[in-house]
C-alpha cells in the first residue's frame, strides 16, 4: 500500500492543517463560469449559490460557519467551490471576520481558476488578509494575461501556489504552467491531486478514454502526479511539491477532522476509534478512551 501523501520538500501550511484535521472546509458557492471536463463537483451543488461547511449546510451566514469552526476546534479554513473568486466580497468579509475573531494566526486558504482572475477581484483579495491562494490551470494558455494579477497577490504577501489534478495526457502542459509560474517567481509550492472519478465527471472522463480505477481515481493518475513532482523538483529544487492521493482525502483529512470533532464532543462512556467514529462503552466514567494505532489510552476529563 502506498503512502497517503508524497511530499517533496515541505508541505504548505494549509495542507499540514488539513492532514491533521485542524482545518475546516467551506464550500462557499457552487457558482463557476467554467466547465472543466474533469470537474468533480456534484451536479446538485454545481452552478448553485449554496454553502456547506464540513458538508453541513450553511443556512445562517456567517453564524453557522462560526458554530462549526468552534465545534470542530479548527485553527484554519480551506475555501473551495465552485470558484470562490466569483463571490469575492463574501470571501473578503469572511476572512476579515475570522481574522478578527480568532486572531491573525488562523490560517485561511482558497482555490481559484486562473481564467476567473480579474483585476477587481484580485485587488479585493490582495487586501483581505487571506494567507494562501492556490491557482488552478492545466495549460499555459490559461495564464495568458493573468501573470500580472498573480503578481499582485504575491506582492501582497499572500502565499501563492499551483494546484492541479494529475491528468494523464496533460503532463507536458501542466509542466509548462509550472515553468511559467516558477520562472516568473510567482509561486512557492505545487499541489498535485490524484484525479478522482465522481458521478459528476465519470461520463466525460470515460468518453475521453480515461479509465476509472478500483480506488475511485483515474488509472495512471498517481503515476502522472509522481512524474510531475519529480520533474518539478529536478528542475526547480526550491519549490515544494505535494502529491495528494485520493485515499489521503478520505482517510487522513476527513478521518482526522472527524476524530478531532468527536474527541471534543465525546462523553466518558465513548471510545473514539482511529477512523473518527465513536463507539459506545457499557459503563459510564469520568474518562475518555482513545484507541490510536491499535493501542488504547485513557485520558482523565
Q: Which residues bind ligand SF4 (CB under 6 A)?
A: 32, 34-36, 39, 41, 81-83, 113, 136
In angstroms, what is the minimal distance from the CB of 38 to ligand SF4?
7
In angstroms, what is the minimal distance from the CB of 191 to ligand SF4?
14
Q: 138 or 186: whose CB is closer to ligand SF4?
A: 138
Q: 204 or 266: whose CB is closer to ligand SF4?
A: 204
Q: 137 or 256: whose CB is closer to ligand SF4?
A: 137
**What is the DSSP pairing of strand 76-81 with strand 270-272?**
unpaired
Specify the residue for cell string 499540514: 16
In angstroms, what is the minimal distance from the CB of 217 to ligand SF4?
15
Q: DSSP letters of 43-107? A: TTTTTS---EETTEE--STTHHHHHHHHHHT-SEEEEEES-GGGGHHHHHHHHHHHHHHH-TTSE
Residue in 163, 157, 156 with CA at minimum distance from that of residue 181? 163
Return all residues near 134 (Cβ < 8 A) that are at least 6 apart.
14, 109, 110, 111, 112, 160, 161, 162, 163, 191
Q: 164 or 261: whose CB is closer to ligand SF4?
A: 164
In angstroms, what is the minimal distance from the CB of 162 to ligand SF4?
14
Q: 136 or 260: whose CB is closer to ligand SF4?
A: 136
In angstroms, what is the minimal distance from the CB of 48 to ligand SF4?
12
Amino acid at each position: 500500500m502506498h503512502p497517503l501523501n508524497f511530499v517533496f520538500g515541505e508541505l504548505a501550511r494549509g495542507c499540514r492543517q488539513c492532514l491533521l484535521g485542524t482545518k475546516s472546509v467551506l464550500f462557499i458557492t457552487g457558482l463557476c463560469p467554467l466547465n472543466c471536463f474533469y470537474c468533480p463537483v456534484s451536479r446538485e451543488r454545481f452552478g448553485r449559490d449554496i454553502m456547506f461547511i464540513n458538508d453541513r449546510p450553511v443556512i445562517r451566514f456567517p453564524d453557522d460557519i462560526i458554530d462549526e469552526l468552534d465545534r470542530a476546534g479548527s485553527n484554519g479554513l480551506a475555501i473551495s467551490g465552485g470558484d470562490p473568486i466569483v463571490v469575492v466580497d463574501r470571501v473578503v468579509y469572511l476572512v476579515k471576520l475570522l481574522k478578527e475573531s480568532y486572531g491573525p494566526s488562523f490560517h485561511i486558504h482558497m482555490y481559484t481558476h486562473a481564467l476567473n482572475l480579474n483585476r477587481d477581484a484580485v485587488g479585493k483579495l490582495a487586501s483581505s488578509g487571506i494567507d494562501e491562494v492556490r491557482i488552478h490551470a492545466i495549460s499555459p494558455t490559461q495564464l495568458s494575461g493573468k501573470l500580472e494579477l498573480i503578481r499582485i497577490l504575491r506582492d501582497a504577501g499572500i502565499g501563492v501556489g499551483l494546484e492541479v489534478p494529475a491528468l494523464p495526457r496533460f503532463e507536458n502542459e501542466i509542466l509548462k504552467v509550472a515553468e511559467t509560474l516558477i520562472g516568473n517567481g510567482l509561486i512557492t509550492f505545487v499541489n498535485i491531486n490524484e484525479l478522482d472519478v465522481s458521478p459528476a465527471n465519470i461520463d466525460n472522463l470515460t468518453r475521453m478514454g480515461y479509465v476509472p480505477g478500483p480506488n475511485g481515481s483515474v488509472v495512471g493518475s498517481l503515476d502522472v502526479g509522481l512524474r510531475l513532482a519529480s520533474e518539478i523538483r529536478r528542475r526547480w529544487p526550491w519549490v515544494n511539491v505535494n502529491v495528494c492521493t485520493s485515499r489521503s482525502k478520505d482517510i487522513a483529512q476527513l478521518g482526522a477532522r472527524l476524530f478531532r470533532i468527536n474527541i471534543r464532543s465525546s462523553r466518558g462512556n465513548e471510545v473514539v476509534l482511529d477512523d473518527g467514529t465513536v463507539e459506545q462503552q457499557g459503563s459510564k466514567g469520568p474518562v475518555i478512551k482513545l484507541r490510536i494505532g491499535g493501542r488504547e489510552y485513557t485520558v482523565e476529563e
